[in-house]
Structure 1
Amino acid sequence: MNSDYGQDAGANEADPDATSAPASGSRALAPVPQRSSPKIKALIGAVASLLLVLIAFFVLSRTLAKLNLAELSTAVAATSWTQISYGLLFTACSYLMLTGYDAIALKQLRLKVPYRTTALGSFASYAVSFTLGFPIFTGGTVRYWIYSRAGVRPGKIASLTVVAGVTFWLGMAVVIGFGLMIKADSISEINQFAVILNRMIGAAVLGAVGGYLYWVSARPRRAKLQGLTFELPGLGLTLGQMALGVLDLCCAAAVLYVLLPSHEGLDFFTFASVYVFACLLGIASHAPGGIGVFEATMLKALPAPSQEALLASLLMFRILYYVIPFVFALVLLGATEGGRRWDALREAMNQAEGGDRDAR
């Protein structure tokens, strides 16, 4: 996201094609070539993502090569119904928090949409994008399909998607920042960084969050993304975004936490920080749902009685947090489309019957 750091509305909305007439006798200036090409940046990003995926799959393949499939099957079967029930409960809480992402974005955009539509648009878009990856395209397409029928314009839907994304990133920054500050010693045993270095990184992250809060509180701020200009939430809504983001991530982390074979030597706050870090690596890899990268990070970072037991927890987490919501979202979208088509058919039949009566 490229922020314009407080340019006024007139500057942002100026006609890009408008040019000033050159002064008499002035010489036309040749355009200054850009020093960095967007294509080069995209290529670097793609190479970095590919390298991350290759490293993660190398680590994962070495781990899987040593697994005992019989022990893995036993570990999966050993997952209790109590663990599964709590996992489903925290999954529901996480997706409930996600509906608040869209609700805050709609409030910022001054749009009135029924909560039923907001809940469907948010849940379905996140369930699909979490599983398939590429959220701007997958989640954005689902949001467009749902919100456009509620009368929301495409530009507003795009702004909604970006503002909701800001909520997610704020939550991640807060969890990682506080985790590195408060649990620096515990996290140092996992990431092998010096305690002071973890605290410095945490302080830098929280400092960036504090700077962002001050920046949006001073006056209305606008941001640009791919030619789209929109206003960022002010201090009040931004604090709401942070709270929702933290609650969502803590609920999502709790799904995996309750599925772990053992919590010995691992408190929830430390675990949540490691979980968010693994999610960041998964996002950076651009792999659908961060699959492979997320698992490799957690397998290396978390203590467990055995790799089979930890992998069983990760498999169950995938099922509860990704597969079940994804299938449920497809069912809801199918039912919504089926209901819409049935209503259209019934209305057409009623009109046809009315025409027959008039003809008689």
Structure 2
Amino acid sequence: MPTAASARAPARPAASERRWWPWLKRGALWAFLLGVGWLIVRQARTIEWDEVLDALQALPLALVAAAAALAAFSFALYTTFDLLGRHLTGHGLRAPTVMGVAFISYAFNLNFGSLVGGVAFRYRLYSRLGLRASDITRVLGFSMLTNWIGYLLVAGAAFALSPLALPPEWRIDSGGLRVLGVVLAAVALGYLLLCAFAGGRSMTVRGHALEVPSLRMGALQLLLSAANWSLMGAIVWLLLQGRVDYPQVLAVLLVAAVAGVITHVPAGLGVLEAVFVALLSHRVPQAPLLGALLAYRAVYYLLPLVVAVMLYGVTEWRARHRHKT
């Protein structure tokens, strides 16, 4: 007969369940990776790369310069995420210094993945500037939250109001994408409600105390991040020279962003192009489509990385100089 203590004890998963669940998750991840890899290889074999390079060279220089200016504005917006974290933690670093750290981290994050850029560079740079590990963690977490809460809002609006015409072999149609959009937007708005009713309070999640921001701070997060994601879509739309409506381009970019995060491929190499070709090649010839995406990589990934490498070199030199003196 069970005792009272045993009756109150939570049920533990069966040993067999504990064994197969991790393998199931790994298997699903590897299946997704192999599927994306197969899609990239299949499409790469059908592409006339000479035509792609011709399409890239045919882009007007003024158009590429305008795209680079939008990219600079987008990076500037992203650096404000760390400024919000500065306000949240109350640390004393100057705003230009914080924006410089965020810029360097974001550029390396885009090209080498979040563990290298978003995490490692922030910890190294902020710790050299005297921030405590706890404050760095809070700034990092708040920046990531800002980025993805804005994503939910923009993706929700894009999927719900202008759903994509998905390929027939995909297991979700436009109606399903519209439902997904409503759910994503509801989550983003739910975050605002949480800020409105629980702002300033602390919540414990898996043993970590998290402070719920105020409604004003939550609204700033949504506004800045949504503007940044919208700018990224505008850059691709501009380089495509209006061949596809902006909401459609933005929706495809948002799908590609999640695919790149899931696959953990540095810079999303091949993933971005595979998603765009799969979803837009029926509306835009492959050569100009891939030419526009290569130009996007140049102005949004490679050019900022060059600047970030130089800034990082200056930062390291100054840090060593301070230690010597």
Q: How would you bin the TM-score normalised by the shorter chain?
A: 0.7 to 0.9
Describe the superposition over 1:191-227 as per-residue Cα deviations: whole angstroms up to 9, x where unpaired. 8755443332222222222222212321245456775
Distance 1:130 1:196 in 2: 32
Q: Distance in 1 between matches of 2:78 and 2:53?
A: 33
Aligned counterpart for 1:161 among listed residues 109, 117, 140: 140
Q: 1:188–1:68: structure 2 CA closer, same or farther, 3 Å change rule?
A: closer
Alignment check: 8 A CA contact 1:176 1:202 kept: yes
Q: Tell which structure's C-alpha radius of gyration is larger.
A: 1
CA contact (8 A) 1:50 1:285 kept: no
1:55 corresponds to which letter in structure 2? Answer: G
TM-score, L = length of structure 1? 0.79
SS in 2 for 1:152: coil
Matching residue's letter, 1:290? G
Deviates more, 1:166-175 or 1:56-65: 56-65
Match of 2:32 in 1: 52
Aligned to 2:266: 288
Pairwise CA RMSD: 2.8
Residue 225 of structure 2: aligned partner: 245
> What do residues 272-303 of structure 1 show as CA deviations (whole Å, max 9, x unaligned)?
12211110111111111222222211111124
Residues 70 and 294 of structure 1, relative CA distance in 2, 3 Å threshold: closer
What's the offset of the Cα at 1:51? 2.4
Q: How many residues are paired up?
A: 316
SS of the residue aligned with 1:230? strand
Change in Cα spacing, 1:67 to 1:325, as seen in structure 2 (3 Å) is: same
The alpha-carbon deviation at position 143 of structure 1 amounts to 1.1
The question of 1:101 aligning with 2:81 is answered yes
- In structure 2, relative to structure 1, the CA distance for the partners of 1:179 and 1:144 (3 Å cut) is same
The reply on whether 1:87 has 2:67 as its aligned counterpart is yes
Change beyond 3 A, Cα 1:40–1:139: farther
Partner SS, residue 210 of structure 2: strand
- Contact 2:110–2:266 (CA under 8 A) maintained in structure 1: yes
- Identify the residue that residue 267 of structure 1 maps to in structure 2: 245
Following the alignment from structure 1 to structure 2, what is the Cα–Cα distance between the partners of residues 298 and 110? 42
Change (3 A) 1:195 1:129: closer
- Structure 1 residues 194 and 64: alpha-carbon distance in aligned structure 2, compared to 1, 3 A threshold: closer
Q: 2:293 aligns with which of 297, 311, 314?
A: 314
Contact 2:196 2:214 in 1 (8 A): yes
SS of residue in 1 equivalent to 2:209? strand
Q: State the distance in 2 between where 1:27 and 1:86 align.
A: 69
Answer with 278-287 or 227-236: which moved more: 227-236
- 1:230 aligns to what? 210
Secondary structure, in 3 states, of the residue corresponding to 1:111? coil
* CA displacement 1:113-166 (0-9 Å, x = unmatched): 201211111011111111111x14532221122222333210110111111111
Percent identity between the aligned chains? 23
> Residue type matched to 2:67 in 1?
G
Q: Which consecutive residues of structure 2, in runs of 5 or more, have no partner in the other structure?
A: none
Higher mean displacement: 314-323 or 152-161: 314-323
Offset of residue 54 of structure 1: 1.8
